[in-house]
């Protein structure tokens, strides 16, 4: 059994930061664009992650006539929840008029793809699920570290799905990040007697770049093992981390760059929200059309990676 995408939605904060807003940390618009492809990003200063998730979900619900009461599963993918408990997913149920199984997952930038895979597995044929990726990465950023703070933005993306006999394929994998190439602190700052990194997000850019390429390779290899050719995929919607990563993947696998949907120039890396926001824009912008095969790919902290392949 596969999934149908019934509707999508997104929420983008109103506070826009351009590259020139970061010049106090010895960077420039040219430096950022050349190395990342990012031109703007949006930070949320007024509402919480769960409220952003609710607004993205409402945007998706407003785009369909589906009765919210028919939704059986709600999953919010986030690494920046309002609280450890209750989870974001449970907080938004009443606001959306939904009574359902609800929980959060945290695999950072792989979140939306993982959530789709998990939701698919929990639904029976004909049932509906709501998947949301939402993150306020800005509250984890060290704004003195130009290697990381220029990369990220806040936002939320949502999709309402239906379990059906539609064409779909899912894959997800993880491994331990033994070198802490991408991490942020939490309740415990001590592990095995050694002080860990502080609460702020820290990233080893070159290591993350290499990991991302390996994640794409593994996803494409898995497709090949299942007799699925990347030549048959009409549109690729990857996690929006870095333009250079996407270009490197395209060159390595001989994929026309125009087959990748890219919006990171506008929003930066919105972590769990990244793929959901891009999916919503690809659909509403007419880039993703009916009967096209689309591959969503996520890769992030954990380390984690995976894909969702379906026919729109």
**247 belongs to the catalytic site:** no
> Which pTM value belongs to this model?
0.94
Q: Which residues contact 183 (CB under 8 A, 6 or more apart)?
A: 177, 196, 197, 201, 202, 203, 301
**253 belongs to the catalytic site:** no
Residue 198: what pLDDT? 59
Residue 184: what pLDDT? 79
Residue 185: what pLDDT? 67
Instruction: Indicate which residue of 59, 117, 239, 242 is catalytic.
Output: 239
Residues of the chain below pLDDT 70: 185-198
Residue 192: what pLDDT? 46
Instruction: Indicate which residue of 109, 119, 149, 219 is catalytic.
Output: 109
> What does the pLDDT look like over 32-80, one tens digit per residue?
999 999 999 999 999 999 999 999 999 999 999 999 999 999 999 999 9
In angstroms, rounded to a whole number, what is the distance separating the alpha carbons of residues 56 and 278? Answer: 13
**269 belongs to the catalytic site:** yes
Q: Which residues contact 249 (CB under 8 A, 6 or more apart)?
A: 213, 216, 238, 255
Per CATH, is 1-183+193-312 categorized as 3.90.25.10?
A: no
Q: How far apart are the first and last CA of the chain?
A: 15
User: Which phi and psi (to 5°) does residue 8 adopt?
Assistant: -135, 165
Q: Secondary structure of 295-312 in the HEC alphabet?
A: EEEEEECCCEEEEEEEEC
């Amino acid at each position: 059994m596969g999934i149908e995408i019934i509707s999508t939605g997104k929420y983008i904060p109103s506070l826009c930061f351009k590259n020139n807003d970061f010049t106090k940390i010895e960077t420039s618009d040219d430096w950022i664009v050349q190395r990342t492809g990012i031109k703007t990003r949006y930070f949320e200063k007024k509402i919480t992650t769960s409220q952003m998730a609710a607004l993205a979900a409402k945007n998706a619900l407003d785009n369909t006539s589906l009765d919210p009461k028919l939704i059986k599963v709600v999953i919010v993918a986030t690494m920046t929840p309002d609280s450890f408990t209750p989870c974001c997913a449970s907080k938004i149920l009443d606001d959306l008029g939904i009574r359902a199984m609800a929980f959060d997952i945290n695999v950072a930038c792989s979140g939306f793809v993982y959530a789709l895979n998990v939701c698919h597995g929990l639904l029976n044929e004909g049932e509906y699920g709501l998947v949301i990726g939402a993150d306020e990465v800005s509250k984890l950023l060290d704004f003195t570290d130009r290697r990381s703070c220029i990369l990220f933005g806040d936002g939320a993306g949502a999709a309402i799905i239906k379990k059906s006999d539609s064409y779909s394929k899912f894959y997800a994998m993880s491994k331990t990040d033994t070198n802490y190439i991408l991490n942020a602190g939490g309740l415990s700052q001590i592990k095995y007697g050694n002080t860990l990194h502080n609460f702020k997000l820290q990233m080893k850019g070159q290591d993350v770049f290499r990991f991302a390429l390996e994640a794409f390779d593994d996803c494409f290899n898995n497709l090949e093992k299942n007799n699925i050719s990347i030549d048959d995929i009409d549109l690729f919607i990857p996690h929006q981390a870095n333009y250079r990563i996407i270009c490197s993947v395209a060159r390595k696998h001989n994929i026309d760059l125009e087959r990748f949907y890219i919006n990171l120039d506008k929003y930066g890396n919105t972590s769990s929200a990244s793929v959901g926001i891009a999916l919503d824009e690809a659909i509403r912008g007419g880039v993703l059309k009916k009967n096209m095969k689309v591959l969503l790919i996520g890769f992030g902290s954990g380390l984690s990676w995976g894909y969702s392949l379906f026919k729109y």
